[in-house]
Structure 1
């Protein structure tokens, strides 16, 4: 969860789902033997173009969260190799400005547009099968945002 100085959260519209009106927070995989905090900063830079010197990690939910794909998506996403994900969530404070964001920083880009939203809006913006995770993340970081 990336928050700015106003306590708003970064969400991006996935480039591979332009027709849907679903927005998500940056997320990504962890390379073998990669430290989780290092993975957070790397993935954030890849998906948003935000340099790690503009970000401070200020929180972590230690208990991993899991979700399963709906049956109609199993076998269609992630090369058919996975039925869901396990995620460890971090809270990061963004000390930059919008001109520091570059959605084309990585090839291929993850997001086609972004916006800043109030934390309580997050569960209404994400695809339905991730709502429970987003509610838990919002509650877990509420006091730090």
Structure 2
């Protein structure tokens, strides 16, 4: 397993006006597992561009319906459980290395459409970001805790999200 590389991926924490995070329940899982939008970064693709593309592909939310808030400089990693290696991603990856992006959703709930051409979620909802780690599959829990810790300075469920300067945009 350690000889396999990590799949490059972009993840999105989408926050509404009330400071709640978007989560979707995956179609390909029988577990009661929820996750934030995420997906592969194509070869040569900029991670921020991959994030906005994945957001559109999974939620129908276009880039003009979001405001960039923050992106940590670090990558986050998770390993697949041994019983899934070789069964997902055609056996090419041991897990994922992810770049995460925090966006504020500027639209209305009706602007979210998970019935995309290649749907990934069977349902969705807004939750308090603190709930994220307990709702994901166990092998992603530590990753979600780390992502949540990285975005915590920008999250405030009482008043929404604190604004950050344009200089905080990833380069």
The CA deviation at 1:84 is 0.5
Give the equivalent residue in structure 1 for 2:153. 143
Matched, 1:64 2:94: no
- Counterpart pick for 2:93 among 82, 88, 106: 82
Provide the C-alpha distance between the structure 2 equivalents of 1:11 and 1:79, rounded to a whole number of angstroms. 26
Give the equivalent residue in structure 2 for 1:43. 54
Matched, 1:92 2:98: no
- Counterpart pick for 1:2 among 1, 11, 14: 14
Matched, 1:101 2:112: yes
Q: What TM-score does the superposition give when structure 1 sets the normalisation length? A: 0.96
Any residues of structure 2 matched to 1:9-48 within 5 Å, and which? 9-17=21-29, 19-48=30-59
SS at match of 1:72: helix
Query: What is the aligned length?
Result: 143
Moved >3 Å (runs of 4+): none
The CA deviation at 1:61 is 1.4
Give the equivalent residue in structure 1 for 2:63. 52
The CA deviation at 1:114 is 0.2
Deviation string for 1:97-130 (max 9, x for gaps)?
110001112x220101001000110000000010
| RMSD between aligned residues | 0.8
Deviation string for 1:28-58 (max 9, x for gaps)?
1112221111111111000000011011111
Unpaired runs of 5+ residues, structure 2, are 1-12, 156-171
Q: What TM-score does the superposition give when structure 2 sets the normalisation length? A: 0.81
Provide the C-alpha distance between the structure 2 equivalents of 1:28 and 1:62, rounded to a whole number of angstroms. 18
